Amino acid sequence: MLDPTGPRPLRIIHCFRSPLGGIFRHVRDLAEAHAKAGHEVGILCDSTTGGSYEDKLFDEIRPFLALGLVRLPIRRSIGPSDIKALWGSYKEIRSLRPDIIHGHGAKGGAVARIIGSALRVNRYCVARLYSPHGGSLHYDKKTMLGKSVFFLEKIQEYFTDAIVFVCDFERCTYEAKVGRPSTYSERIYNGVNDADFGKVFARPDAADFLYIGMLRDLKGPDVFIDAFARTERLIGRPLSAIMVGDGPQKAEYEQMMLERGLGRRIQMVPAMKATDAFAFSRTVVVPSRAEAMPYIVLEALAAEKPVIASAVGGIPEVLGANAHVLAPPGDPQALAAIMTQSVTDADWARSAMPEPRHFKNSFSSSAMAGSLMHLYRRLLSDKRPTARSKEPVSVS
């Protein structure tokens, strides 16, 4: 809790579109950490996405939301409906009188910065922050759509007090596609809730491999299925796997498994908490084609589970750029070679995974929340940070 003689508690609003995946996990951890420190936190997000699983997660975080939970329709694509969403968001946020509006993802970032700027026009002191979380940075700079998106990103820097990148890869991608930020920027790594650190032991009937995440090509479920089949052929015996998650391409992957005769050896189950899923497997596989700083890698390492992953986004910053557990994205043969080694070499994981204590010091939610609170305080003080980016700190 805050020292009653120290700085006053802050009123913080987090804005994002879809209550799914890493952004939702990021905001939940921040809300809990800052609420426990005595601050007042609220969330504004889309009402048209998410299901019963996400409703349960909202129920868990509600006790930490002193400023409440606001859900209203926020479409993924840009369109006329955005005007209604912005007006509704403005009325809700204005009544909460926040000190901080922190937008996450492209749509959340736009909502936070536009509304924050409208409040500033009315002489209301509020700091406007933006965290891309990959989002729009996945677009191709060579396409017209990509050029338009990155132009809008650049324009919005004029309404931004700070951009917070979750890894150095995200910052470098932003600079390559959008340009060097004209406002202040800082890298603050994603962090796992301190309560989630601790070894999760595999059940006696655990599967050899686990895929957990959205069922869409960007996350590589098809690469995982292909690599699994190749691993079986390399080893010469049947293996087992479990795929946890939901998504728009689930039926395609089910058909893919049936065509390859894998339906009995790869089990598909609905979304569940990562810590629960870890007990059902021995090794976690993250075959994404693109990422920023995926929480599933951090959660698995916090649970001391071996991880095999694509060398994309900030993953090499966690596992090491030369780690022999990393495969080129979209390469099922290279992924299968690592999966084969994980099954045949008993000492494979011991030398590949980060040292637990060092990992926790760098990637805990307490470290993440503390760094962000320090930035929030600086932005609200008379000595605001300059537009110069804070230099990245290397993590060995």
pLDDT at 300: 94
Q: What is the largest CA-CA distance in the chain?
A: 70
Quote the distance between the C-alpha of residue 383 and its chain's center.
30
Instruction: Report yes or no on 3 lying in a domain.
Output: no
SS3 letters across 306-359 = CEEEECCCCHHHHHCCCCCCEECCCCHHHHHHHHHHHHHCCCCCCCCCCCHHHH
289/300 Cα distance (integer angstroms): 19
- Same structural domain for residues 183 and 242? no
Cα(253)–Cα(208) distance, integer angstroms: 19
Number of structural domains (the chain) is 2
DSSP states of 187-212: E----B-GGG-S--PPPTT-EEEEEE
CA distance 237 to 229: 10
The pLDDT of residue 179 is 94
Assigned domain for 175 exists = yes
Shared-domain flag, residues 132 and 240? no
Q: Are 184 and 386 in contact (CB under 8 A)?
A: yes
Distance between CA atoms of residues 177 and 149, nearest Å: 10
CATH code, 124: 3.40.50.2000
Q: Which amino acid is at 110?
A: A
| Residue with token string 């339906």 | 263
Is position 314 within any domain?
A: yes
Q: How many residues does the chain have?
A: 396
Claim to verify: residue 34 and residue 96 sit in the same structural domain: yes
Q: Return the pLDDT at 355.
A: 82
Residue identified by tokens 């002489």 is 123
Q: Are residues 108 and 201 in the same domain?
A: no
Within this chain, do residues 178 and 301 fall inside the same structural domain, yes or no?
Answer: no
* Domain range for 71: 11-191+364-380
Identify whether residues 59 and 163 lie together within a single domain. yes
In a domain, 133, yes or no: yes
| Dist. CA 178–CA 175, nearest whole Å | 5
Residues 293, 154, single domain; the answer is no
Q: What is the pLDDT along the chain (396 residues), one digit of tens a residue?
A: 555 445 789 999 999 988 877 888 899 999 999 999 999 999 988 888 877 888 888 899 999 999 999 887 777 766 666 677 778 788 888 888 999 999 998 888 988 898 889 988 877 889 999 999 877 888 888 899 889 989 999 999 999 999 999 999 999 999 999 999 999 999 999 998 888 899 999 999 999 999 999 899 999 999 999 999 999 999 999 999 999 998 889 999 999 999 999 989 999 999 888 889 999 999 999 999 988 888 899 999 999 999 999 999 899 999 887 678 999 999 999 999 999 999 998 888 777 788 888 888 889 999 999 999 999 999 998 656 666 555 444 333
Residue 390 in any domain: the answer is no
Q: Does 83 lie in the same domain as 18?
A: yes
Find out whether 388 and 184 touch, Cβ atoms under 8 Å: yes
352 lies in the same domain as 295: yes
Residues 336, 253: one domain? yes
Contact 298, 313 (CB under 8 A): no
**160 and 227 in a common domain:** no
Q: Is residue 219 a part of any domain in this protein? A: yes
What is the helix (H) or strand (E) element at residue 149, kind and residue range?
helix 144-156
Quote the pTM value. Answer: 0.82
Q: CA distances (Å), 134 to each of 59, 173, 252, 335, 366, in order?
A: 27, 9, 25, 23, 22
Six-digit token string for 317: 């910053």
- Do residue 142 and residue 199 come from a single domain? no
Question: Alpha-carbon distance 314 to 363, whole Å?
Answer: 12
User: Is there a domain that residue 354 lies in?
Assistant: yes
Does residue 394 sit within a domain? no
Task: Please give the structure tokens belonging to residue 197.
Answer: 């650190």
